[in-house]
Amino acid sequence: MRRVSVWILNGIVLLLVVYLVWLRHAIVIRQEATPVSAALPEISAVERKALPDARVGEKITYDIKMGPATLGRCLFQNLKQTDYKGRPVNHIVFETQMARFKDRETIFSDAELFLPLKVERDIRAWPNYEVITEDYDQQLFTLTLTKRKGKKEEVTRITRQGPIHNAILLPYHVRIIEGIQPGWSMQVNLPTQAFKIKLIRLEEVRVPAGSFKAYYFESEPKRFQIWISADNRRIPVKITGSGAIGYTLAMREYQSGRPVEEQ
């Protein structure tokens, strides 16, 4: 009986891995995707605020949950800005680890708008190993995606109707807006799909790291929900996906960063 239970758990983990890989790596643009404008939403100087220096060095650890089961951990790290093609850019690392699965994602993005410029991914899903490079041209709205698996290389070029976002960076578009209120919305244009994010309300949310008063966001159509703390830190404390296999990222630990000059 115990062996059967282990097989069932391994099967669940495998299904979740397959779903996460499909969700984040699919390269065929859906025909039913919502049209997007060719520009980001206007954000006035009053609305936009500079990111606090303390976010450099920030680390957030999440539990990966499916129902009551904890299947792994994610680690988000906001590193010191680095140079990319002669200009300073944001440098973020996002690591996902579950049984027989590890994904390290290094993201370089525009210093002000948090639009992705280059993403390097190292994926180990036993027994396979894959390296993915994403090169973005935010002027031409294109993404060149290169997959390397063993000796095989596959290159795909994706063109969108506007600036291309990155799912991991989406919370930063909220974190840099001052005085955000319910009803606020933003059009999102990922490589494989387009949708709207809308602030629904403020509510209390509980995660392993504690209880927080948070801004609650939903996507339209409803594919996921995000809770971001309603304090000066604007921490993404919880993210849920409501696709074929529902999952939750729940914050377990938060470590604030240090001012840039101390790095």
**Residue 144, in any domain of the structure:** yes
Q: What pLDDT, on the 0 to 100 scale, is given for residue 257?
A: 75
How far, in Å, CA of 238 to CA of 93, rounded? Answer: 18
pTM for the whole structure: 0.78
Please enumerate in sequence order all residues whose Cβ is within 8 A of that of 181, keeping only pairs 6 or more positions apart, or say none: 199
Give how far Cα 147 sits from Cα of 17, 105, 123, Å: 18, 14, 11
Please tell me whether the peptide bond between 182 and the residue prior to it is cis, using omega within 30 degrees of 0.
Answer: no
**Residue 34, in any domain of the structure:** no
**Residue 160, in any domain of the structure:** yes
Q: Which residue, 211, 213, 236, 212, is CA-closest to 226? A: 236
**Residue 232, in any domain of the structure:** yes
CA angle 104, 250, 122 (to 5 degrees): 5
**Residue 10, in any domain of the structure:** yes
Domain residue limits at 230: 2-27+44-262
Q: What pLDDT, on the 0 to 100 scale, is given for residue 17?
A: 44
Domain count, the chain: 1
Q: What pLDDT, on the 0 to 100 scale, is given for residue 42?
A: 40
Q: What pLDDT, on the 0 to 100 scale, is given for residue 126?
A: 86
* Residue 211, both tokens: 């209880």
Q: What pLDDT, on the 0 to 100 scale, is given for residue 98?
A: 94
Query: Average pLDDT for consecutive 10-residue bins of the chain (263 residues)?
Result: 42 43 40 35 41 72 93 94 93 94 96 93 92 96 95 94 92 82 92 92 97 96 92 93 79 79 41
